[in-house]
């Protein structure tokens, strides 16, 4: 069930109030789930129940995406604002230093939260920020084309298109290696989420100069990359490992940019291996 929470964030304009939507289930150590640009927390549904068997799982719509409100006017969508805002969100929910798993933009935010000491472990699935300039331009052009397509397609045509596996592949084949696994309802919902994302352009603009160049020492960190990622090419995982020498680099065979639907069991295992490593380190 979706709920909302409001909290105060620090911004260049001073304290401001943000309101985000989230879904929470399970029990155990807290685990925060962060989606990618233009998506929503439902991207995690293929793995949520598996993770909730051992964790208090909190899947969040980032500000300006899904059912969450945009950030207040004038507040930037950059790492220096959004990552601490997620820390403030956790405080508002009564959670201290959760584990965090993020995909794409969410992976970049997860790493920044780790660097800032806000979490106890990080699992980053195809995180942004390890690109060359050419790779960034390619990724941004692909995302903008997907957004333009989503905005141009009337809802009745969208619903008709999703009734066939070929139509679902046309709509989501860029981000999934196995788009036919997505239900028609899920594809409609995520296409509308992409179309209606109020934070899309501001987030993309803020990401234009982003390069993640800092290590995240003292935490279990896993970088996982789908071998069929068509947006952030898997060679970026090698750069991520060079930047984060203590991290574990994992291949996700047959998975695309959003791997949770392509192989739920594998993605769940990668996340749980990381959170379990954090628990063992705390007990040592």
Mean pLDDT (the chain, rounded): 95
Q: For residue 234, what is the DSSP state?
A: T
Cβ distance 122 to 274 under 8 Å? yes
Produce one character per residue of 39-67: b if its CB has 16 or more CB atoms within 10 Å, e if not: bbbbbbebbbebbbebbbbbbbbbbbbbb
Q: What is the pLDDT of residue 1?
A: 81
* Secondary-structure breakdown of the chain: helix, strand, coil percentages, each rounded to the nearest 5: 45, 20, 35
Token pair for 276: 């379990």
The predicted structure's pLDDT at residue 280 = 45
> Would the pLDDT of 112 be above 90?
yes
pLDDT digits (tens, 9 = 90+) for 35-85: 999 999 999 999 999 999 999 999 999 999 999 999 999 999 999 999 999
What token pair was written down for 224? 């996982």
Could you report the per-residue pLDDT of 203-250, keeping only the tens digit for each? Answer: 999 999 899 999 999 999 999 999 999 999 999 999 999 999 999 999
pLDDT at 184: 97
Cβ(18)–Cβ(72) below 8 Å: yes
CB-CB neighbours of 15 under 10 Å:
8
For residue 282, pLDDT beyond 80: no
CA 133 to chain centre: 21
As a whole number of angstroms, the distance between CA 220 and CA 129 comes to 19
User: Residue 281 — very low, low, confident or very high, per pLDDT cuts 50/70/90?
Assistant: very low
Burial class (CB in 10 A: 0-12, 13-18, 19+), 30: buried
Q: Which is more confident, 278 or 203?
A: 203
Give the DSSP H or E segment for 143: helix 133-152
User: What CA–CA distance (Å, rounded) separates 269 from 140?
Assistant: 30
Domains, in order of start, for the chain: 2-131+211-283 (3.40.50.1820)
Nearest to 68 by CA among 124, 22, 10: 22
The answer to whether 141 touches 226, Cβ cutoff 8 Å, is: no
Residue 277 is predicted with a pLDDT of: 59
Percent pLDDT > 70 in the chain is 97
Tokens of 180: 């036919």
What is the longest distance spanned by two Cα atoms in the chain? 57
In order, the DSSP letters of 73-110 are TT---SHHHHHHHHHHHHHHTT--S-EEEEETHHHHHH
Q: How confident is the model at residue 283 (pLDDT cuts 50, 70, 90)?
A: very low
């Amino acid at each position: 069930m979706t709920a909302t929470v409001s909290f105060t964030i620090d911004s260049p304009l001073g304290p401001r109030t943000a309101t985000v939507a989230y879904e929470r289930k399970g029990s155990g150590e807290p685990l925060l789930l962060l989606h990618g640009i233009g998506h929503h927390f439902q991207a995690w549904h293929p793995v949520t129940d598996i993770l909730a068997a051992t964790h208090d799982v909190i899947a969040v719509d980032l500000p300006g995406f899904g059912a969450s409100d945009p950030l207040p006017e004038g507040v930037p969508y950059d790492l220096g604002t959004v990552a601490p805002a997620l820390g403030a969100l956790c405080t508002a929910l009564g959670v201290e230093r959760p584990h965090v798993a993020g995909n794409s933009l969410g992976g970049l935010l997860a790493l920044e939260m780790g660097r800032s000491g806000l979490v106890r472990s990080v699992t980053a699935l195809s995180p942004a920020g390890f690109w060359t300039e050419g790779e960034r331009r390619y990724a941004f052009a692909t995302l903008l084309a997907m957004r333009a397509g989503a905005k141009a397609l009337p809802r009745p045509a969208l619903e008709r298109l999703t009734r066939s596996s070929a139509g679902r592949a046309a709509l989501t084949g860029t981000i999934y290696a196995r788009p036919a696994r997505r239900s028609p309802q899920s594809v409609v919902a995520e296409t509308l989420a992409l179309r209606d994302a109020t934070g899309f352009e501001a987030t993309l603009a803020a990401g234009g100069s982003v390069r993640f160049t800092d290590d995240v020492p003292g935490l279990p960190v896993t970088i996982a990359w789908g071998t069929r990622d068509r947006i952030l090419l898997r060679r970026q995982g090698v750069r991520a490992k060079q930047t984060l020498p203590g991290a574990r680099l994992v291949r996700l065979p047959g998975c695309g940019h959003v791997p949770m639907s392509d192989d739920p069991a594998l993605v769940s295992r990668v996340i749980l291996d990381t959170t379990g490593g954090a628990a063992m380190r705390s007990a040592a």
